[in-house]
Amino acid sequence: MQIWPGRPYPLGATFDGTGTNFALFSEVAERVELCLLDADGSETRVDLPEVDAFVWHGYVPALQPGQRYGFRVHGPYEPSEGHRCNPAKLLLDPYAKAIDGQVDGDPSLFSYRFGAEGERNDDDSAGHTMTSVVVNPFFDWGHDRPPRHEYHDSVIYEAHVRGLTQLHPAVPEELRGTYSAIGHPAIIEHLTSLGVTAVELMPVHQFVIDPGLVDQGLSNYWGYNTIGFFAPHNGYAAFPEAGQQVQEFKSMVKALHEAGIEVILDVVYNHTAEGNHLGPTLGFRGIDNANYYRLVDDDPTHYFDTTGTGNSLLMRSPHVLQLIMDSLRYWVQEMHVDGFRFDLAATLARQFHEVDRLSAFFDIVQQDPVISQVKLIAEPWDLGDGGYQVGGFPPLWSEWNGKYRDTVRDFWRGEPSTLGEFASRLSGSSDLYEHTGRRPIASVNFITAHDGFTLADLVSYNEKHNEANGEGNRDGESHNRSWNCGVEGATSDRKVLALRARQQRNFLTTLMLSQGVPMISHGDELGRTQQGNNNVYCQDSPLSWVDWDLDPQRSSLLDFTRMLVRLRREHPVLRRRRFFAGAAEHGGESELRDIAWLTPAGEHMEESAWHADQARAVSVFLNGEAIAEPDPRGEEIIDDSFLVLFNAQAHPMSFTLPPEGYGPTWTVLVNTGARSGLGAPVEAGASFEVAARSVVLLTRPPVAETLSAEGEGPVAKASANARTARRRRA
C-alpha cells in the first residue's frame, strides 16, 4: 500500500476529498501500525512513516470515508512503570469521528491472563473490539444558525435519546430511540409546545456497553462510559453504516435549531471506559497509558480514581487538555452544538490532588474564543476529597445547583428550619454565586434529574426500589429527601393521589418561579414513573422510557407545566438577569424594594421568623416595576408584579394580602390547591385561604403611575428608585 508522510495535525483521520491523513499521539511508542479493515474482517497493516513531537502520521491517497481502521502500538509493556503497550491489541483512535461495533467481553481484550494478573496476554483483540471509521466531513447546513438564547431566557430539558423517543406512537418504529427520532416533528412539537429552549442530551459520545451487564439482560443505558470523545454513539443511529451516524446527528441538530431549540451535550471528560488496571485495553491504555491516565504516584500499576469508575484522566497532561479542547471545538464548530454539561466536573479541576477552580483546564476554556462563548454547565462535584464544589466554579460557568434541589425537596416534604434557605434558593442563590461576580444564571435549578427519583416517584416513594438492577437494592442513593404522601408506591386512595398531584404542581411551580435557569427532567411534565427505581443506569426498557399514553391526570399535568413555562417566558421579573438588591441570605430587603418577604399575616419577616422550627409558610412580593436593568436594546423593563403565597404546612393557612401600597387589587393566576377561583380579584389587605401544601400566585399590572412617589406606597418608591439606578448605570 502506498503511504505518504502526511501531516501531524489535525490528529485523527482527516479526509480531504482525495485521501485521508492519519495522526496519532504517543510519547512512549517505538512504532505505530495503521490497520485498515475490510468488510470480511481481513486486515492490512502499514507503518505510519513519520513522527513529529510524538505525533505519528501518514497520508493514504484515495482512501475514502467509510473505511474502518485501528492502530497497533509497539512499545514497552511495563505496568509497574505505568506502560501498557501491546501490539496484539487493536486500538481505537482517540480522535475517531465515528466508531463501529461494540466490545464483546472476550479475554483477548485484556492485557493480562484471567486468573494470572501478572501474565501478559498476547491474544489478538481484532474481531472482539470496536473499530474507528473515516467519515465524510461535508454536510449541507443550509442557513443553520445557533439559536443563542440568553441564559436568563432558557428552560433546559434533560433528555435521553432512546428514553424520550422509544415509545412515542407518532415516531416511525424504525426511527425510535435514535437521533432521527429526536429530530422528528412529533418530538419537536412536544418540545416547542412545552416551551423549552434547549435539550440537554445525556451522553451521546460513543460509549461502551459492559458485557457483564449484557450477560444479565441489562445495558449501560445512561452512557457514562465514554470511549470516543468525537464520535456520536452508534447505538443511537438509525443509519449507522459507514459512519452515517455523523450525518444523522447533524440532521437532528439542524432540525432542532430550525425550531429554535438549542442542543447541549452531557459530556464525560473525567474518565474513560477502560476502567482500572483490570479493565480492557481499547485505546488510550495501549497508546500511552501514563500520558492519558492519572496513576498512583508511588504505584503506577494502579489508577488514581476520583470518579468511582476505575480511572481519571490526567488533567495536568497537555495532551489530555488538547484532546478535551479539540473535542469541544469539534462539537461546536463541526456538529453545531450549543453547549455542554460536564459530568463530575470537579475532577476536571484536579491537576494534582485538590480541586482547584483555577486549574489549567479552566484557564484554557476561559481564553478559548470558541468554547468560552457557548453554554458551560458543571456538575460541581466528584467522589474525591473536597469534591463537593457547588458555588466554587469560575465566573464563566453555570452549575447544577444541588443545594437548590435538596432545599426545595426538604421544604415541600415538611422538614423544619428550611424556610430561610428556601428563600435564598428561590431568589437565585446569591449566597453561593454573587461573591464571585456571577449572576442568577450561574444556578441551574432542578428538582429531579436522570440520577434519582422522577418527579412522580419523588412524591410516591420513601425508599428506593432498585431490585430490577440485580444488586440486591444496594445501589443508588438511599437519602432521597422524598415523601410518599402516606402510602408507599401505587395506590387507589383518591386523597393520596390528589396530594401527590398537588405536590408535583408545587415543585414545578417553585421551579418556574425561581430565579436562575430551570431544568426539567424528561417526562416529569407527563408524570413519568420508574416504579421507585432511583438508579436506572442499566435499564434500557419501559421502566426508564417515557410513556406517552396519557390519562386525564397526566394530560392535566402537561397542560399545567406548559402554562408555567409560558408564564415565565412572558414575565421578565421571573427571570431576572441580576440578583435582587434585597436578596441577601434569609430574604433581606433593600431600599429598592424589588423583593419583599412577608409573613402570612402580611407583615415583614423578622430575623427570628426565618429560624422557627415550624415556619413553613411565607409570601414573597416580586416587584415588576423595580427590575432596575435594561433590556438588550437599553430600554426600561417594566413588568407586572407578583405575590406568591407558599404554604408547606399540613393544614390550610389564612394569608393576609399586603396593604394597598403594594397594589390595590390582585388577580389569582395559579393555585396548586384549587382549580376554582382562577382569575378572581382579591383586594389589598383581604384574607385569602391557601390550602394545605400548596402555592398561590397572584398578579397585578403596573400601578406606579397611579400612586404618588411622595406617598406611602413602596411600589411607587421602588419604581422611582429603580429608574434612578438605571440612569446611574447609563
Residues annotated as catalytic (active site), given as ranges = 343, 379
- The whole-angstrom separation of Cα 11 and Cα 358 is 27
For residues 500-509, one letter each, b for 16 or more C-beta atoms within 10 angstroms of the residue's C-beta and e for the rest, the string is: bbbbbbbbbb
SS3 617: strand
**Residue that has been written with the C-alpha cell 399540613 in this structure:** 650
Q: Dihedral, CA atoms, 180, 183, 185, 187, nearest 10 degrees?
A: 100
Measured on CA atoms in the order 407, 412, 418, 419, is the torsion positive or negative?
Answer: positive
Compute the CA torsion angle 596, 602, 605, 609 (nearest 10 deg).
Answer: -150
By 3-state DSSP, what share of the chain in percent is helix, strand and coil, each rounded to 5? 30, 20, 50
Q: Is the dihedral of CA 110, 115, 119, 123 positive or negative?
A: negative
Q: What is the DSSP letter of 636?
A: B
Residue 96: closest CA among 280, 233, 240? 233
Taking CA atoms, 203 is separated from 207, 517, 684, in Å, by 8, 21, 51
Q: What angle do CA 368, 371, 372 make, to 5 degrees?
A: 70
| Residue 188, phi-psi category: left (phi > 0), alpha (psi -120 to 50), beta (remainder) | alpha
- CA–CA distance, 371 with 380 (Å, rounded to integer): 19
Can you tell me the distance from the alpha carbon of 13 to that of 611, in angstroms, rounded to the nearest whole number? 61
Determine how many CB atoms are found less than 10 A away from the CB of residue 650: 9
Beta-carbon count within 10 A of 169 CB: 9
Q: Torsions phi, psi of 606, nearest 5?
A: -90, 160
Environment class of residue 594 by beta-carbon count within 10 Å: exposed (0-12), middle (13-18) or buried (19+)? Answer: buried
Q: Which residues pair with 620 in a beta bridge?
A: 597, 644
User: Going by C-beta distance under 8 Å and a sequence separation of 6 or more, which residues neighbour residue 474?
Assistant: none
What are the angstrom distances between the C-alpha of 717 and each of 598, 683, 704?
18, 21, 9
Print burial letters for 321-360: b (CB count within 10 Å at least 16), e (below 16): bebbbbbbebbbeebbbbbbbbbbbbbbbbbeeebbbebb
C-alpha cell at 143: 442557513
User: What's the rounded Cα separation, in Å, for the pair 611 and 495?
Assistant: 31
DSSP 3-state of 211: helix
Q: Which residues of 609-635 are buried (b: 16+ CB within 10 A; e: fewer)?
A: bbeeeebbbbbbbbbbbbbbbeeeeee
